[in-house]
């Protein structure tokens, strides 16, 4: 099956570049390019009654180089900058014709128990993104960024804030090269670049049209991204015949409604120093377009269902980032990939299909297809004897209703897993929130007229919870977490350092979680 023009000439270079440590040109940039450089500097709000400008360390260095001129201009140009606001100054310094000063909020803020994230880190990401975008709008191609006391967060803000999917447009925004200003924190900066590029890779995959990202092109693109990463990584693209041999009847029942062949993507990363160490298994829903099947979705908004493979995109991007960071951990990545379409072979409401573990499922709603393909993938994940299984899926509209875009809903049978996921999300700012796995919901899917299970609950309420209860019927592992990412699939203006479009969340949280897990394994 052909990848198409975008698959070969546009998507793959982006994927290859996402693994390059020099993607954003973090190497030194010549200062001789007059008029083409910009600088983003942070400034704190300060305490009430204190109107003096409070620079970061980098800001103080720059202000001294201007003999205090920047502080003077900030003082006379109006009230002190509030969090996320900016001012731009021209001709202040011969090396930087454009200087954007951004508000970082209060100095010294940290983890907020109410917000469930580190406010200081989020303030840096948001402020840096504002400054970089302003310079991009001015077509400034070279930008140095104040590390603002946390070079990783500053890099994440810059790289995430500048991303925009415009691969198919003739007119594109200025490509901006960014690097840290006056900083020796290159390791922390580079880590931030890798984290952000991982999320941007997921955004790129989710944003691309469904006629460009098919099941086959998705799998081949991930394979290409990992092609030159050495013998620690193996990628298997399993064809339909293999899926049939594995008796994945639930997965095949969804895929048969499309002319696109289903693919089962399997990634092995052996990064642990102990080869026999049990892996972490990541499983991602990979419906590259979801029409709803015979239970067809409304036409309005259906185009966004090109991103219904967000679970597969985020787990694959997280694994690619873990490989780039050379995390000492073994990982198995599994992504059942298909389309949910309407043809003469498509699932009909009331059909009964059989999953890999032998359980029969009554399909009363063909638009509840994600749980069907995940059921077989979760069964297969157990064959690797994983220490934990984490699956991600844009599974239910009910999750969006429950939490909106504020956080990813997590359903888990493991307090240990929940603790690590929550800890990771506090650091990344891409939050998670624990949801219930009560037997109350299980009974709604196990009381089925024709089969062992029904793919929808008996009642409309609690849809995200009954979907999780359904998945639990295919899990025997003591440490399993289901991440319903439907609410965080896209961004309008909720996350200030992400432009409007597909969000690629919670890729960075999955990477941070994996890093914690690798540290725990090393210390045990």
Residues contacting residue 491 through CB under 8 Å, at least 6 positions apart: 405, 498, 499, 500, 501, 502, 503
Residue 387 bears catalytic tag? no
Residue 297 bears catalytic tag? yes
User: Any idea what the Cα angle at residue 141 is, between residues 140 and 142, rounded to 5°?
Assistant: 100
Ordered alpha helix ranges (H), 299-429: 310-324, 370-381, 397-403, 415-428
Phi/psi at 450 (5° precision): -115, -15
- Judge whether 319 and 267 are in contact, CB under 8 Å: yes
Distances (CA, A) of 302 to 255, 297, 305, 330, 379: 18, 7, 5, 37, 30
Other C-beta atoms closer than 10 Å to the C-beta of 301 total: 8
Q: Which tokens in the block code for residue 457?
A: 């609950």
Nearest to 54 by CA among 66, 46, 62: 46
Give the three-state DSSP class for 246: coil
* Catalytic-role residue among 12, 121, 133, 371: 371
Chain-centroid distance of CA 435 in Å reads 20
* Catalytic-role residue among 8, 87, 107, 297: 297
309: DSSP letter = T
Catalytic sites, residue numbers: 297, 371
């Amino acid at each position: 099956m052909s990848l198409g023009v975008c698959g070969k000439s546009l998507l793959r270079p982006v994927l290859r570049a996402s693994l390059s440590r020099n993607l954003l040109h973090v190497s030194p940039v010549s200062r001789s390019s007059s008029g083409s450089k910009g600088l983003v500097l942070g400034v704190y709000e300060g305490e009430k009654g204190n109107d003096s400008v409070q620079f970061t360390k980098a800001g103080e260095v720059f202000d001294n180089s201007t003999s205090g001129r920047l502080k003077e201009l900030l003082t006379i140009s109006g009230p002190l900058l509030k969090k996320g606001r900016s001012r731009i100054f021209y001709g202040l310094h011969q090396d930087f014709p454009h200087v954007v000063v951004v508000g970082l909020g209060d100095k010294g803020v940290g983890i907020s128990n109410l917000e469930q994230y580190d406010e200081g880190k989020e303030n840096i990401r948001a402020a840096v993104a504002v400054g970089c975008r302003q310079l991009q709008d001015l077509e400034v191609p070279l930008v140095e960024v104040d590390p603002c006391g946390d070079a990783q967060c500053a890099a994440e803000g810059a790289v995430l804030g500048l991303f925009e999917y415009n691969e198919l447009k003739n007119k594109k925004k200025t490509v901006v090269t960014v690097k840290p200003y006056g900083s020796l924190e290159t390791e922390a900066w580079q880590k931030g670049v890798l984290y952000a590029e991982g999320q941007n890779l997921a955004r790129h995959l989710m944003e691309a049209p469904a006629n460009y990202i098919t099941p086959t092109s998705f799998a081949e693109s991930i394979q290409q991204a990992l092609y030159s990463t050495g013998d620690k990584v193996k990628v298997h693209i399993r064809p339909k015949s293999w899926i049939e041999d594995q008796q994945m009847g639930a997965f095949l029942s969804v895929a048969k409604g499309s002319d696109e062949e289903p693919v089962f993507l399997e990634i092995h990363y052996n990064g642990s120093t102990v080869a026999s160490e049990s892996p972490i298994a990541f499983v991602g829903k990979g419906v590259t377009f979801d029409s709803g099947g015979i239970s067809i979705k409304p036409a309005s908004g259906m185009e966004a269902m090109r991103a219904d493979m967000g679970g597969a995109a985020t787990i694959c991007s997280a694994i690619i980032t873990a490989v780039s960071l050379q995390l000492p951990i073994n990982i198995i990545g599994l992504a059942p990939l298909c389309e949910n379409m309407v043809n003469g072979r498509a699932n009909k409401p009331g059909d009964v299909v059989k999953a890999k573990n032998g359980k029969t499922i009554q399909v009363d709603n063909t638009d509840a297809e994600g749980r069907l393909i995940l059921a077989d993938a979760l069964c297969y994940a157990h064959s690797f004897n994983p220490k934990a299984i984490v699956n991600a899926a844009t599974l239910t509209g009910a999750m969006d209703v429950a939490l909106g875009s504020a956080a990813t809903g997590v359903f888990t049978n493991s307090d240990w897993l929940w603790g690590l996921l929550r800890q990771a999300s506090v650091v990344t700012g891409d939050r998670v929130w624990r949801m219930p796995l009560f037997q109350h919901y299980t009974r709604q899917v196990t009381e089925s007229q024709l089969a062992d299970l029904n793919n929808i609950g008996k009642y409309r309420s609690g849809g995200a919870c009954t979907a999780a209860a359904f998945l639990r019927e295919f899990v025997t592992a003591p440490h399993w977490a289901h991440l319903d990412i439907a609410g965080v699939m896209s961004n309008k203006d909720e996350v200030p350092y992400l432009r409007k479009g597909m969000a690629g969340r919670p890729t960075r949280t999955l990477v941070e979680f994996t890093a914690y897990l690798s540290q725990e394994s090393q210390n045990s």
